[in-house]
Structure 1
Amino acid sequence: MLNNLPPLAPFRPRLLQDLRGYNVEKLGRDVGAGATVGIVALPLAMAFAIASGLKPEAGLWTAIIAGFLISALGGTSVQIGGPAGAFIVIVYGIVERYGVANLLIATASAGVLLFLLGLFRLGTLVRYVPVSVVIGFTNGIAVLIALSQVRDWLGLDIAKMPGDFFSQISTIAHHIGSLNPYAFGLGTLCVIGLFVWPRLWAVDSQFRRQLEHVDTMSALKATSRLPAPVVALVTLSLLAWAMKLPVETIGTRFGGIPQGLPALALPEFSWQTVKQLVTPTLTIALLGAIESLLCARVADQLSETPKHDPNQELMAQGVANFVVPFFGGMPATGTIARTVTNIRSGAVSPIAGIVHAATLAAVVLIAAPLAQHIPLAVLAGVLLFVAWNMGEWREFGRLKHFSNHYRLMMLSTFLVTIVFDLTVAVELGLVLACLLFVRRQSDIFRADPLPQLDPDVVQFRLYGSLFFGAVSKIDPIVAAVEKSHAGVRVELDASQLISLDTSGLDSLEQLHKLVAKRGGQLVLNHLNPQPASLIERSGFGARLRGENASAEHA
């Protein structure tokens, strides 16, 4: 029996393949792209960690360590790994309910699960999650990310935000009187700047055209290449520091970022604790798998590099998520925004992702003390922008073009993600998808009567799949048999019957018993391979042939 199992997936990082024929020209492109993405990742990594209820260095070292491991061991050429916005709501809920130590254990356990998913070639299973479910929970997470940033955006005097949706709204409403106009102004300027900056330097923008003949245009062009989040972070932090604005910063809340390598720490582990963390572990693993493979598919579409290996990618994600908790990190996965930036910056191999991690490490080790001046309202503005870009809001307007089944799956997943939990939402979405698929397939099956040329013969043609959800559709045949005289011959044309399950087989056997009880014959004509195989393996085909042969001899 063990010999019939599929072989395990080989551990073959894409880096080894891409290094064949690697040259100086490719290295230059990768270094430029990696440095650019490293700068982009800096504010995002801190913002994701803070929004998740962790210290900013947790996000930074996750981006560095996991980013390096995912690029070095992954199954894609240009994907960038690290902390992701999708994890904010999940991690915050786990920290609030179980504590940081248990988050680390859940993340490491999820890493083991992810590695096993890849090792046993289950990477393709993630593709079976319906797109309506993915859009639903993605939009739901975007709403929750935006809501979680309202406290820092408005500068509200709230010691700790609760984890669930309605409690957050109630807490914000209760403390709205403590609004800090300076924090609100910085956060709003950040959001506006993030929207405006790339449009200012677009090829067809009026602003760029007016500067075409200015002597300093080359310097301005160099400035235009700076990522918008970095421009917002630097300029608004300088503004707040120079004007001594009374706003909360990384320094006032966390005491700054340690300048040095993270210490290796082993979280306290026990099987009793692991048993309590089954749901958080599954949530992190499920979301990490979905996000990383969706990101890999986006990279395949935008890049000319070879298509990704989903199993190798999951194994790399597993290694990264197993390792980062020992350095105080948070869950990591593939990140679409940074991956797209990497591709557009000219990356051609995983070396770019390794350079991205090295760039981040250099910035943290050299300039960590400067981070204490960053206002939290500015990081909130960055995450509000991330949430806006993360959500696929146009899909709500397009719902009118789709079926009620699609609307039900997307909207229910969206609402349950917001009100309850991502895991519950995905489970509900998959259950609904299965139920609606069963209903749709049962609607397709039908048994149509054929013209009755001989009063001793009842003929029907079967269409579609005869399975457990469609067995009631053969009732017209039963009714026709019951109305006919004894000794009737029932012929079923199965040329359009594409599949049959054991419930469908049982319904045919019950029909056969009814026909035999009335002294008649049941004949199945033109069987396709799958129905024929099941009928033969069950012995039903032999019984039919034997009885029909006996009737002909009689």
Structure 2
Amino acid sequence: MNRFYENTIKNYSFSDLKKDLISGLTVGMIAIPLAMAFATASGVRPEYGLYTAIIAGILISLFGGSKFQIGGPTGAFVPVLLGIVTIYGYENLLIAGLLAGFMLLFMGLFKLGSLIKFMPRPVTVGFTAGIAVIIFTGQIANFLGITSIEQHSRFILNIREIWNHLHLTQLSSIFIASLCMAIILLTPKLFPKIPGAIVGLIVSTIIATIFFTDQVPTIGSVFGSIPSSLPEFQFPELTWERIQPMLVPALTIAALGGIESLLSAVVADGMAGSKHDSNRELIGQGIANIVTPLFGGIAATGAIARTATNIKTGAVTRMSGVFHGVFVLLTLLLFAPYASLIPLASMAPVLMIVAWNMSDRRHFAHLLKMRTGDSLILVATFLLTVFTTITIAVMTGLVLALIMFARRMSNLLVVSKVLPDHSQTNETVEAYMVDATRNCPQIEIYTIEGPLFFGAAQVFEQRVMDSIHYRPKALLLRMSKVPFMDTTGIANLSNVVSHFNKQGGTIILSGISPKLREILKSSNLYDDIGEENIFEHTGQALDHAISIIDHPKCIGCKQFAFHECHQLSAGKPLVTD
């Protein structure tokens, strides 16, 4: 809080207050219908979405790492939360949210914020588009006025449920839903500063109340009246029997919350020219998700669209997010009875348009047209999100991305057999100097370029092992362009060293970086090679190689790969400068 005081309150002016207040009120108006819509789509009462927007919205603004971040319930959580409610019930949903909060808190404390940002783009676009499809299709029943159908955790089952109940379609609901959607789409064009969702809900609710009384299902008729009071504090009953099945769902919530909040913070940085603190953002998200379930709220994270609106409307500090939460609270206390009159058919287009906007259609189409490995990752993640669970989808997407990464990196590894080019002034070693008439039978020189890791180390070992069959006396590996080596790379290099030493040969290394030297020392491979066989420059390593080969075998050799070959071929003693 001292940091909050120093960065926000200490130099806070009336001008800042005015700008933050306007931004907070604007975003609050947008957040109210979305909070209720996301809650009902997640299978819980609409007021729980409002509680989340109030509590999580204020806490994320106070403790998060982005001063423009607006937190609350989002579409990304809808299929996950609906699945938990359907299978485990609302009480266990609160436990999952609480556990996710602690996971996010620990992720921030252990500085894991930067790691989440490495989520591959095809995976995020794929599961976001999949979530959009689930949200959109999940509102078809409300759009058509079909009530009392069973909600399932699987997409196919929900579609089948709607299909089997199409005969219950109500024309009055379709009319109200279409009216609300038209207003939402037209309002930004006619009145850009007025939230279309608010206008759509108010107008369609008035029309439904006057002309379709008791004909269109409303929030009140389906969920009961919304209480115009603060939620009560209630700590859930925690036992290992209840916690254990919630660990995986909680991890899914934490991962999604972390990804979306940091993506939102990055978007905010780009729009406002600011810089967020990834780890602090996770800590703020963790605190919010720990406290919110204690008041009946659902999972929350940074909302990209609301955060962008916050910046566009002139927010200056994180107080705009606090004002947004306070505005939602005042609305709950003063106007809750009227919210019960909102038709579910009016809520449907709100979420349908959210789903359409979050689908990231342009990036999806662009990645699909590329017809690369990224396209495969995108399609797999998308389909698995829709037809299985987001956990399976993301894990599969990450595995595929890892395989693609390993394949691409292995293609970057270059293992070249080289010899010195005496026609050049600096006599650099080049691959084109090696041919049938110029190839020393006792000294093999290889230039290794690229990382020696699990995806490429096998290529390195196979390439070098081919030379070992010729039984050269010295094998010189130039490794100045090897940036890093993992345990698999160490194991493959160790195999080469062990096999070569057994044949009586000597491994010589040149150009290894200090970091690579430490890795070799920690694995004992440094001692196996021998410090006397490790050099900083290729010239030194080559002089050492020539000094240890079997000189009598050089007599009569016509390869002349090195300057010294003329003396050795003639049987003369080796004379050095």
TM over 0.5: yes
Q: Is the counterpart of residue 231 in structure 1 residue 182 in structure 2? A: no
1:176-201 per-position Cα deviation (integer Å, ceiling 9, x unaligned): 11111111122122223222221234
CA distance in 1, matches of 2:276, 2:346: 36
Q: Is the counterpart of residue 255 in structure 1 residue 242 in structure 2? A: no
1:499 equivalent among 484, 493, 514: 484
**What SS does the aligned partner of 2:216 have?**
coil
Please name the residue that 2:515 is paired with. Answer: 530
The number of equivalent residue pairs is: 519
Please name the residue that 1:211 is paired with. Answer: none
1:266-322 per-position Cα deviation (integer Å, ceiling 9, x unaligned): 322212211121111111111111111111111111124x41112222222112111
Deviates more, 1:23-32 or 1:156-165: 156-165
**What SS does the aligned partner of 1:466 have?**
coil
1:71-128 per-position Cα deviation (integer Å, ceiling 9, x unaligned): 1222221111111111111111111111111111111111112111112222212112
Deviates more, 1:321-330 or 1:518-527: 518-527
- Give the residue type in structure 2 aligned to 1:249: T
CA contact (8 A) 1:500 1:530 kept: no
Question: 1:500 Cα shift?
Answer: 2.2
Distance 1:357 1:513, change over 3 A: closer
**What SS does the aligned partner of 1:349 have?**
coil
- Give the residue type in structure 1 aligned to 2:269: D
Please name the residue that 2:236 is paired with. Answer: 267
CA distance in 2, matches of 1:475, 1:544: 19
2:366 equivalent among 398, 404, 418: 398
CA distance in 2, matches of 1:49, 1:15: 33
- Give the residue type in structure 2 aligned to 1:437: F
Please name the residue that 2:307 is paired with. Answer: 339
Equivalent runs, 1:439-478 vs 2, <5 Å? 439-450=407-418, 451=434, 452-473=438-459, 474-478=461-465
Equivalent runs, 1:4-19 vs 2, <5 Å? 14=4, 16-19=6-9
Structure 1: give runs of 5+ residues left out of the alignment. Answer: 1-10, 202-223
Distance 1:508 1:312, change over 3 A: closer
CA contact (8 A) 2:8 2:317 kept: yes
Deviates more, 1:438-447 or 1:398-407: 398-407
Please name the residue that 1:221 is paired with. Answer: none
Question: 1:543 Cα shift?
Answer: 4.0
- Give the residue type in structure 2 aligned to 1:267: P
CA distance in 1, matches of 2:109, 2:2: 11
Distance 1:119 1:531, change over 3 A: closer
Please name the residue that 1:325 is paired with. Answer: 293
Q: Is the counterpart of residue 361 in structure 1 residue 329 in structure 2? A: yes
Please name the residue that 1:135 is paired with. Answer: 125
**What SS does the aligned partner of 2:338 have?**
helix
Structure 2: give runs of 5+ residues left out of the alignment. Answer: 419-433, 534-543, 551-577
CA distance in 2, matches of 1:387, 1:546: 62
CA distance in 2, matches of 1:301, 1:84: 21
- Give the residue type in structure 1 aligned to 2:166: I
Distance 1:512 1:60, change over 3 A: closer
**What SS does the aligned partner of 1:523 have?**
strand
Please name the residue that 1:177 is paired with. Answer: 167
**What SS does the aligned partner of 1:493 have?**
strand
CA distance in 1, matches of 2:368, 2:300: 36
Equivalent runs, 1:15-30 vs 2, <5 Å? 16-30=6-20
Question: 1:14 Cα shift?
Answer: 4.5
Equivalent runs, 1:31-110 vs 2, <5 Å? 31-110=21-100
1:25-58 per-position Cα deviation (integer Å, ceiling 9, x unaligned): 0100011111111111111111111111111111
CA distance in 1, matches of 2:531, 2:236: 69
CA contact (8 A) 2:19 2:316 kept: yes
Distance 1:515 1:52, change over 3 A: closer
CA contact (8 A) 1:13 1:74 kept: no
Please name the residue that 1:427 is paired with. Answer: 395
1:349 equivalent among 309, 314, 317: 317
Equivalent runs, 1:480-495 vs 2, <5 Å? 480-482=467-469, 484=470, 486=471, 488-495=473-480
CA distance in 2, matches of 1:422, 1:12: 39
Question: 1:409 Cα shift?
Answer: 1.5
Question: 1:376 Cα shift?
Answer: 0.6
Name the TM-score, length of structure 2 as normaliser.
0.85
CA contact (8 A) 2:36 2:49 kept: yes
CA distance in 2, matches of 1:363, 1:515: 78
CA distance in 1, matches of 2:464, 2:266: 48
1:482-538 per-position Cα deviation (integer Å, ceiling 9, x unaligned): 1x3x55332222233232233323333332343334433322222233333323443
1:431-477 per-position Cα deviation (integer Å, ceiling 9, x unaligned): 22222222221222132222244333222221212223323323232
Deviates more, 1:460-469 or 1:60-69: 460-469
Greater Rg over alpha carbons, structure: 2
Distance 1:178 1:487, change over 3 A: closer
**What SS does the aligned partner of 1:86 have?**
helix
- Give the residue type in structure 1 aligned to 2:256: L
Distance 1:364 1:520, change over 3 A: closer
Question: 1:410 Cα shift?
Answer: 1.4
- Give the residue type in structure 2 aligned to 1:291: E
CA distance in 2, matches of 1:425, 1:516: 47
Deviates more, 1:262-271 or 1:29-38: 262-271
- Give the residue type in structure 2 aligned to 1:478: M
- Give the residue type in structure 2 aligned to 1:406: D
Task: Specify which structure has the bigger relative contact order, considering alpha-carbon pairs within 8 angstroms and separated by 6 or more residues.
Answer: 1
CA distance in 2, matches of 1:242, 1:513: 87
CA distance in 2, matches of 1:378, 1:98: 29
1:280 equivalent among 228, 249, 254: 249
**What SS does the aligned partner of 2:483 have?**
strand
Q: Is the counterpart of residue 510 in structure 1 residue 495 in structure 2? A: yes
1:318-342 per-position Cα deviation (integer Å, ceiling 9, x unaligned): 1211112222111111111211111
Distance 1:331 1:542, change over 3 A: closer
CA distance in 1, matches of 2:445, 2:314: 66
Please name the residue that 1:207 is paired with. Answer: none
CA contact (8 A) 1:90 1:422 kept: yes
